Structures are given as C-alpha cells and as structure tokens.
C-alpha cells in the first residue's frame, strides 16, 4: 500500500476524489505515527490542489481548505479534527451519517447548499447555526432519524432562514401546523419526502391538516414521497384537494379505496403518475395500470 501511494505521488497524477471505507478497523492507519499508512495518505492529500471530494479522514484537510467542496462523514467520532472543516471556505455539501459528536456542527461557519444528517437521534439545537449561516444558499436538506429533539426550534429556523430549499426530506416529524407553515414557505420546492407521526387523536383536526397540506403544495412540486401510513386515513381528502403537478407519487401502502382515489386524481390532473406498488394485489394492479404506470420504489426514489 505504501509503495502504491509513493508511486502515485511521484507520478504527479491529479486526484479528484478519495474514498476510504472502514478505516476504523485498520489499526495501522494513525495520522500521528511517523511510520503508519496515515503519513503517505497525508502526502497524497497535500499534493492535490484539485481535490474536490474527500471521504474518510479529516485531519489532513488543512491544505485543501480552499478547494474542498464535499465532505461525507460516516460512523466516526471526530473531535479536534472536525475543527479543520470550519476553515474550508468553499465547502458546499456536508453529509453526516451516524456521527458521534453532532454538537461539533456549532463550530462550522460555512455556507452550504446541501446538508444531510442521518442518525438515531437528531438534536435540532446543534443544527440551527449552520442553517442560519447557509440561509438562502441551502437548496437540499435531509434529516433521517428515529427521533428529532427540539422540533419547533428546527421548523422555525427553516421557516426564517431557508426559503430556497428545492429538496426536503424529513423523517419522523410530527404532522403539525408548524410543519405545514414551513412547506408553504418553500415556493421553489421540487422534491418532498415526509415520514410523519401524529400525536393528535382528533380526527377533524387531522382532516383539516390533510386538506391544508394538499392546498399549500407549490406549483413547482414534481416529486412527493409519503413514507409510512400516517396519511392513509385521509388520502382521499388529500388527493381531492391537491393540485400540484406531480410527476412521481410514492406511497407505502395501497388498498382498493386509495387506488380508486388515485385513479380519480390522475384523471383530474390529466397525466400518468408513477408510484411505488408495495402491498398491491393483482386486481387493484390491473385496474390501476389502465391509467397509471406502476414502477418499483427503487427505480424512482430520489435521494439527497
């Protein structure tokens, strides 16, 4: 490995992307040890003025602070090394997946256009600053977790600072008036993925929210992914009031009643829709395929 790295450096080759996986299982990669594999890796990084994407190691990024545009951090616990990122002046894309120290987000001063945070639990208080810094520049946002702490704080920040989002993906968030206010404020929204929960047992309130949700969807929206079954009891209300020109509609579960509503929706909107067909029996499938093209989830899902 060291020989390969040496040949790479001596050849003067230009590196545009470096992807290093599962480094946590390799004890010999220690950037502080003079004879470890980490030292040749540092030399590679420092020799690359054109490096645009870097995955896996952060502590050698100081020499790339003016060129680095994308960082992906997965399954690691970075402490002092993470502070290097605050000096990356042109960082545009930050993806953090199961990162052990989310509070480090507070030290970042960068303005990014794509933010992805995936974890078992997301604390919104650590995210507000980067949302405020990015502001109008933030276009793509994904929060995927089993729980979001301080939901109202997160939603208020999105509403105030980030009106230009075109891609929004949030899982496990309460279906609420405040959430709808955020969506209503995103007049350039093109892709929306929602996985909501509902703590209200008041059916009339949920019916009202379903109708409002349909009515506020912007005319720019072309992709809607409704994760889970939270909207299923109110799907008829939602689709009957939805006028967004959707090209792709992804649903988790269908039955005969919902199939009939979707057919009516597609006829009213005068287009052939695309959506997931999980849990669809043959009779419903045959009826729907007269009006709609049915495709598997994997072929049309759009990620951040």
Q: For helices 151-161 and 177-184, give the axis angle rounded to 10 degrees.
A: 20
Percent of the chain with pLDDT over 90: 37
Mean pLDDT of all residues in the chain? Answer: 80
pLDDT bucket at 29, cuts 50 / 70 / 90: very low
> What confidence tens digit (pLDDT) does each residue in 248-285 have?
888 877 778 888 888 888 888 876 555 655 566 778 77
Global pTM?
A: 0.80
pLDDT of 115 reads 96
| Domain residue limits, the chain | 1-85, 92-165, 188-304
For residues 76-101, give the mean pLDDT.
78
Q: What is the pLDDT of residues 105-139, one digit of tens each?
A: 887 888 999 999 998 788 888 899 999 999 999 99
Query: Is 235's pLDDT higher than 60?
Result: yes
Is the pLDDT score of 231 beyond 60? Answer: yes
Query: What is the torsional sign of CA 220, 222, 225, 231?
Result: positive
Asked if residue 25 has pLDDT above 80, the reply is no
With contact defined as beta carbons under 8 Å apart, do 38 and 32 qualify? yes
d(CA 196, CA 208): 16
Q: Is the dihedral of CA 156, 162, 163, 165 positive or negative?
A: negative
Q: Please state which of the ranges 95-109, 144-158, 270-284 shows the lowest mean pLDDT.
A: 270-284
Q: Residue 65 above 60 pLDDT?
A: yes
| 78 pLDDT tier (thresholds 50, 70, 90) | low
In eight-state DSSP terms, residue 281 is: -
Structure-token match 């093109």, residue found: 190
Distances (CA, A) of 170 to 126, 136, 176, 186: 16, 19, 13, 14
E strand segments, the chain: 17-19, 53-55, 70-74, 93-97, 114-119, 122-123, 140-145, 148-149, 167-174, 191-197, 223-226, 248-251, 274-275, 293-294
Compute the distance between CA of residue 16 and CA of residue 49 in angstroms, rounded to an integer.
Answer: 9
> Among residues 5, 7, 3, which one has the least CA distance to residue 44?
5
**Residue 137, CA distances (Å) to 112, 126, 127, 165, 255 in order:** 6, 19, 15, 8, 41
**What's residue 229's pLDDT?**
82
172/255: higher pLDDT: 172
Residue 198 tokens read as 């509902």
- Asked if 73 and 116 count as a contact pair (C-beta separation under 8 A), the reply is no
Q: Is the pLDDT of residue 16 over 90?
A: no
pLDDT in tens, 183-225: 999 999 999 999 998 877 788 999 999 999 999 999 999 999 9
Q: 52 versus 190: which is more confidently predicted? A: 190
Give 60-67's long-range contacts (Cβ < 8 A, gap of 24+): 60/31, 61/85, 61/88, 62/87, 64/88, 65/89, 66/90
Q: Give the separation between CA 97 and CA 71, rounded to whole angstroms.
A: 11
Lowest average pLDDT, out of 14-23, 36-45, 143-152, 246-255, goes to: 14-23
Closest by CA to 194, choosing from 207, 213, 219, is 213
**3-class SS letters over 43-69:** HHHHHCCCCCEEECCCCCCHHHCCCCC
Find the range with the poorest average confidence among 42-56, 157-171, 185-199: 42-56
Inter-residue contact 180 to 155 (CB < 8 Å): no
The pLDDT score that the predictor gives to residue 45 is: 59
For residue 70, the model assigns a pLDDT of: 86
């Amino acid at each position: 490995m060291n020989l390969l790295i040496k040949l790479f450096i001596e050849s003067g080759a230009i590196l545009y992307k470096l992807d290093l996986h599962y480094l946590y299982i390799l004890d010999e990669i220690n950037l502080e040890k003079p004879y470890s594999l980490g030292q040749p890796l540092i030399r590679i990084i420092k020799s690359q003025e054109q490096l645009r994407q870097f995955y896996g190691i952060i502590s050698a990024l100081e020499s790339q602070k003016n060129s680095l545009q994308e960082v992906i951090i997965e399954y690691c616990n970075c402490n002092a090394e993470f502070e290097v990122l605050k000096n990356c002046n042109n960082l545009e894309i930050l993806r953090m997946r199961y990162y052990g120290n989310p509070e480090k987000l507070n030290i970042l001063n960068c303005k990014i256009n794509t933010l992805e945070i995936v974890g078992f639990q997301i604390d919104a208080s650590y995210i507000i600053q980067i949302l405020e810094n990015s502001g109008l520049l933030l276009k793509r946002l994904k929060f995927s977790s089993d729980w979001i702490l301080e939901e109202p704080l997160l939603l208020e920040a999105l509403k105030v600072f980030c009106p230009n989002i075109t891609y929004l993906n949030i899982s496990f968030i309460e279906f609420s008036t405040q959430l709808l206010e955020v969506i209503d404020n995103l007049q350039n929204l093109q892709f929306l993925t929602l996985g909501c929960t509902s703590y209200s047992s008041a059916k009339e309130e949920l019916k009202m929210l379903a109708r409002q949700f349909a009515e506020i969807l912007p005319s720019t929206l072309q992709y809607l992914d409704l994760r889970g079954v939270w909207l299923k009891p109110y799907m008829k209300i939602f689709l009957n009031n939805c006028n967004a020109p959707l090209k792709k509609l992804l649903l988790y579960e269908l039955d005969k009643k919902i199939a009939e509503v979707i057919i009516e929706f597609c006829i009213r909107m005068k287009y052939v829709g695309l959506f997931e067909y999980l849990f669809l029996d043959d009779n419903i499938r045959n009826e729907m395929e007269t009006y709609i093209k049915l495709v598997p989830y994997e072929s049309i899902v759009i990620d951040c």
